[in-house]
Chains A and B, each alone.
Chain A
Amino acid sequence: MRVLAAMSGGVDSAVAAARAVEAGHDVVGVHLALSRMPGTLRTGARGCCTIEDSMDAQRAATMLGIPYYVWDFSERFKSDVVDDFIAEYQAGRTPNPCMRCNEKIKFAALMEKAIALGFDAVCTGHYANVVPDAQGNLELHRASAWAKDQSYVLGVLTSDQLAHAMFPLGDTPSKDLIRAEAAERGLSVAQKPDSHDICFIPDGDTRGWLADKVGISEGDIVDTEGTKLGTHEGTPGFTIGQRKGLHIGTPAPDGQPRFVLEIRPKTNTVVVGPKEALDITEIAGTSYTWCGLAPENPEQEFVVEVQIRAHADPVPAIAQLVGGELVVRPTTPLNSVAAGQTAVLYVDTRVLGQFTIARTVSDLNVVATA
Chain B
Amino acid sequence: MVAYLDHAASTPVRPEALAAYTAALAHAGNPSSVHRHGQTARAQVEEAREHLASVLGCEPIEVIFTSGGTESINLAIVGLYRAAVESNPARNRIVVPEAEHHATLDTVLWLQQHEGAVIDWIPVDEHGRIRMDALEATVQREPHTIALVTLLWANNEVGTIQPIDEVAALAAEHLVPLHIDAVSAFGHVSLNFAQLRTESGAVGGSGLVALSISGHKFGSVPGVGALVVSRQAHLEPLIHGGGQQRGLRSGTLDAPAIVSMSTAALVVQKTHEVEHSRLSALRDATILRIQELIPEAVLSGDRATRLDNNVNFTFPGCQSDSLLFLLDAHGVSVSTGSACQAGVAQPSHVLLAMGHDERGASSALRITLGHTTTQAEIDEFLAALPEAVDRARRAGTTA
Contacts and interface: CB of A to CB of B under 8 A. Distances in A.
B328 A67 contact: yes
A31 B322 CA distance: 14
Contacts of B321: 69-72
Contact of A72 (B326, B345, B391, B395): B345
B337 to A, nearest CB: 16
Task: Enumerate the 9 nearest inter-chain pairs by beta-carbon distance, A residue then B residue, closest first.
Answer: A70-B343, A116-B395, A33-B344, A51-B342, A54-B342, A116-B394, A72-B344, A113-B395, A70-B344
Interface of B: 321-322, 324-326, 328-329, 341-346, 391-392, 394-396, 398-399
Contacts of A71: 321, 344, 399
Contacts of A75: 399
A79 to B, nearest CB: 10
Contact of B399 (A54, A69, A76): A76
A31 B391 contact: no
Contacts of B395: 112-113, 116-117
A113 B343 contact: no
21 contacts: A28-B325, A33-B344, A36-B341, A51-B341, A51-B342, A54-B342, A67-B329, A69-B343, A71-B321, A71-B344, A72-B345, A76-B398, A76-B399, A112-B395, A112-B396, A116-B394, A117-B322, A117-B325, A117-B392, A118-B326, A118-B391
A48 B321 CA distance: 20
Given A28-B325, A38-B341, A117-B395, 11 more contacts: A33-B341, A33-B342, A36-B341, A55-B342, A58-B343, A69-B343, A70-B344, A72-B399, A110-B399, A113-B395, A117-B322
A109 B397 CA distance: 11
B364 to A, nearest CB: 14
Interface string A38-74: 1000000000000100110010000000010111111
Nearest to A50: B342
A109 B398 CA distance: 8
B342 A113 contact: no
Contacts of A118: 326, 391
Contacts, number: 60
Contacts of B391: 116-118
Nearest to B340: A70
Contacts of A31: 343
Residue of B341, B391, B394 most packed against chain A (CB within 10 A) = B341
Contacts of A36: 341, 346
Contacts of A54: 342-343
A102 to B, nearest CB: 16
Contacts of B343: 31, 33, 54, 58, 69-70
A33 B396 CA distance: 17
B361 to A, nearest CB: 13
Nearest to A2: B329
Contacts of B326: 117-118
Nearest to B324: A69
Nearest to A58: B343
A28 B326 CA distance: 12
Contact of B322 (A58, A67, A113): A113
A74 B346 CA distance: 11
A38 B325 CA distance: 22
Given A76-B399, A113-B395, A116-B395, A69 B341 contact: no
Given A67-B328, A69-B325, A113 B344 contact: no
A58 B343 CA distance: 10
Nearest to A73: B399
A118 B388 CA distance: 11
Contact of A113 (B324, B328, B329, B396): B396
A258 to B, nearest CB: 47
A76 B398 CA distance: 8
Nearest to A33: B344
A236 B321 CA distance: 39
Contacts of B398: 76, 109
A72 B321 CA distance: 9
Nearest to B345: A72
Interface in A303-338: none
A369 to B, nearest CB: 33
A332 to B, nearest CB: 44
